[in-house]
Structure 1
Amino acid sequence: MKTSGLNYRHLYFFWIVAKEGGVTRAAERLGLAVQTISMQLSALELSIGKQLLEPQGRRLVPTEAGRLAFSYCEQIFLLGDQLQDALDEAEAGKMRLTVGISDSLPKLIAFRLLQATQTMSKQVRLVCMEDEFENLLADLALGKLDVVLTDRTVRAGGSLKVFSHLLGESDMKLFGVPRLADKYRGNFPASLHHAPLLVPTRNNALRGRIDTWLVQHKVRAEIAGEFEDNAMLNTFGRNGMGLFFAPSALAHDIEDQLGAVLVGDAPELREHFYAISNERKIRHPAIEAIISTVHSGLFAH
């Protein structure tokens, strides 16, 4: 069998040095002598015939070849950690689900979806990562994630071979703290003229639908804030900076957790929720449990 000839211990030392920015800090982290790490770095560079690190001020930074090697190390050692965790969990009768959660997805929706995994016969250990949509897709393609939960689909014809699975949809309602709700509830939605609104940024699909809804109802509201992160939007809404839209499926949670009350219904506005996977057919039991819960009426209101 052909092997790469790489010494993975040497590769691991390179990865730590690159992360720490120097041999001394890496040696402290690993509990080894500086000379030991320096010798093994030299042996690695000699074996592959390329310089991987170069001095920049007081730090060591990767060369162009080093940056490429570092990106592979990130995958190699992350997967190594996941392998060890998976083996330990399998021995203990547990299952691991590594989930990417888009920063634009309502966190209460993510909780509702993932809550289904906690009622399975086999215990599920959740590992949740939040990031921007594109970054999560890249991690999914690299095998760092089992699934991505998001509010948008993958654009057809993209370079990544991933698949979108529609989980469900919910119509929207407008909420606000009681002070604002009392002021703008009457004669809704015409009452929203000059009302302060908190909305997603324009790279969010829902934002375009909100803008269209305002135009259709001939409302010229004041945009008090635009947010990429849905949790941040809700925080500002909870503190009375403006009115905000949320899925009707979360109406009770919005009132209980954010202290916001209903201003009016916007049934023409709908938000969609997706699971993105590397497989056209979902095979992970925990993801199947999520989909089964959705089909049983998770988004019914």
Structure 2
Amino acid sequence: MQPLNYRHLYYFWVAAKEGGIARAAERLDMAVQTVSTQVHELERALGYTLFRSAGRSIELTEAGATAARFAEQIFQLGEALPAAVREAANAQGVRLAVGISDALPKLAVRHLLQPAAQTPDLRLLCHEGDFGDLLAELALHRLDVVLADRPAPANPNLRVFSHRMGKASVAWYAPAALLEGVKGKFPACLAELPLLMPTTDSAVRSRLDDWLARNGIRPKVVGEFEDSALLATFGESGFGAFPATEWSFDELTRVRGLSLLGRCPEVVEHFYAISAQRKVEHPVVRQLLVQAEQSSA
């Protein structure tokens, strides 16, 4: 196959975004024939037809839709390149851009990133968001690593790799005022209390549901939260008892004054670092993985 001509790819990308050769030519202020020729050159180089007739207009073929997705990523990276180079040239110290899945407990994030705090002149950039969106940002190299409560799903279009960072069992907490009049011992007392739970998008939710069922508890769920920090805030305010990892114990009991209802070591949250390389190159991410492996050994 011939080397890819990025000028041809660019004209195709504009035509795909604009919905036709004529609209692309208008946007580019070029002749329709010129744009059409460039697109045909790209088709010849790739060996596949990228557009097909659809009435009086054209539409992308399956090959064209795939090419358009890759072109979108390529030119988004191109648009980000000047700012990234400028930032890298002016930056001091080590930069670490971390994507944090919104389902991941925030106190667990602090625990996972604690070893990085020892890095001299570290510049830590944390971005919280939807797991799928963060993986796309990682694949585009806008993030150095993504922290999540699950490994990346198998997807041939996303070349990312999951690395285990450890695990933590879950315990239940509540403010003392909420426990007045509660008669049962743990875990039976959970049937008497309003409960706050992570949403079903969270990997740990199904484990919690199974654990409650095994203990014969019919939960009164009064709130479900994607954001674990918001869940803990509502719990602290007295809306209900809630689960959190053992790593949160000191913060929730000593700092926030919540009561530990009990532990359920059978329910475990797993944590992963997801990178764009099988062999992690970023020195701080390597350090995090090594220390996580040592602490779990």
Normalising by structure 1, we get a TM-score of: 0.70
> Deviation at 1:99?
2.1
Secondary structure, counterpart of 1:6 in structure 2? helix
Partner AA of 1:180 in structure 2: L
Q: Does 1:75 align with 2:73?
A: yes
2:120 partner SS: coil
Contact 2:10 2:71 (8 Å CA) reproduced: no
| Structure 2 CA distance for aligned equivalents of residues 257 and 81 of structure 1 | 45
1:116 equivalent to 2:115? Answer yes
* Structure 1 residue ranges without an equivalent (≥5): 19-35, 52-62
Q: Residues 61-98 of structure 1: CA distance to partner in whole angstroms, max 9, x if unpaired?
A: xx869998885565345434654455445545433333
Is 1:252 aligned with 2:250? yes
1:60-139 correspondence runs (5 A)? 75-80=73-78, 83-88=81-86, 90-92=88-90, 93-132=92-131, 134-139=132-137
Tell me how far apart the structure 2 counterparts of residues 17 and 99 of structure 1 sit (CA, whole Å).
Answer: 34
Gap regions ≥5 residues in structure 2: 20-25, 41-49, 52-58
Q: Do the aligned partners of residues 45 and 100 (structure 1) sit closer, same or farther apart at CA in structure 2, a change above 3 Å counting?
A: farther
Deviation of the 1:224 alpha carbon: 1.3
Indicate the residue corresponding to 2:241 in structure 1: 243
Match of 1:39 in 2: 29
CA RMSD, Structure 1 to Structure 2 (Å): 3.9
The aligned amino acid for 2:29 is M
How far the C-alpha of 1:263 sits from its partner, in A, is 1.7
Q: Deviations over 1:15-59 (max 9, x none)?
A: 9999xxxxxxxxxxxxxxxxx9773798868854899xxxxxxxx
After superposition, the Cα gap between the structure-2 partners of 1:17 and 1:102, relative to the gap in structure 1 and judged at 3 Å, is same
Amino acid in structure 1 at the alignment position of 2:101: S
Q: How does 1:219-234 map to 2 (within 5 A)?
A: 219-234=217-232
Instruction: Indicate the residue corresponding to 1:190 in structure 2.
Output: 188
Amino acid at match of 2:134: L
Partner secondary structure for residue 205 of structure 1: coil
Report deviation, 1:151.
0.7
8 Å contact from structure 1 (residues 184, 192) kept in 2: no
| 1:138 CA displacement | 3.2
User: 1:100, 1:131 within 8 Å by CA — same for their partners in 2?
Assistant: no
Matched, 1:4 2:2: no
Which digits, 9 at most, give the CA deviation of each residue in 1:185-231, with x for residues without a partner? 85111122232111122332211111121122222221112223323
Q: Distance in 2 between matches of 1:68 and 1:281?
A: 27
Counterpart selection for 1:294 from 289, 292, 295: 292
In 2, Cα distance between the equivalents of 1:84 and 1:286?
24
> What letter is aligned with 2:214?
Q
CA distance in 1, matches of 2:30, 2:256: 55
Which range moves more in the overlay, 205-214 or 284-293? 284-293
In structure 2, the CA distance between the partners of 1:44 and 1:106, relative to structure 1 (3 Å rule), is: farther
**Structure 1 counterpart SS, 2:207:** helix
How far off its partner does 1:135 sit? 2.8
Please state whether the residue corresponding to 2:243 is helix, strand or coil.
Answer: strand
Rounded to whole Å, the distance in 2 between the matches of 1:184 and 1:111 is 33
> How far off is 1:170 after superposition?
1.0
Query: Could you state the TM-score of these two structures normalised by the residue count of structure 2?
Result: 0.71
- Alignment correspondent of 1:208: 206
Q: Secondary structure at the match of 2:29?
A: helix
SS in 2 for 1:274: strand
Cα distance in structure 1, aligned partners of 2:204 and 2:163? 18
Q: Which residue of 2 aligns with 1:273?
A: 271
Structure 1 residue 13 displacement after superposition = 9.5
Count of matched residue pairs: 272
Shift of 1:271: 0.9
Spell out, residue by residue over 1:158-208, the C-alpha distance to the aligned partner (whole angstroms, 9 max, x if none): 434432211111111101122124554851111222321111223322111
Q: 4+ runs of 1 displaced by more than 6 Å?
A: 7-18, 40-46, 63-70
Q: In the TM superposition, what is the alpha-carbon distance from 1:246 to its structure 2 partner?
A: 0.4
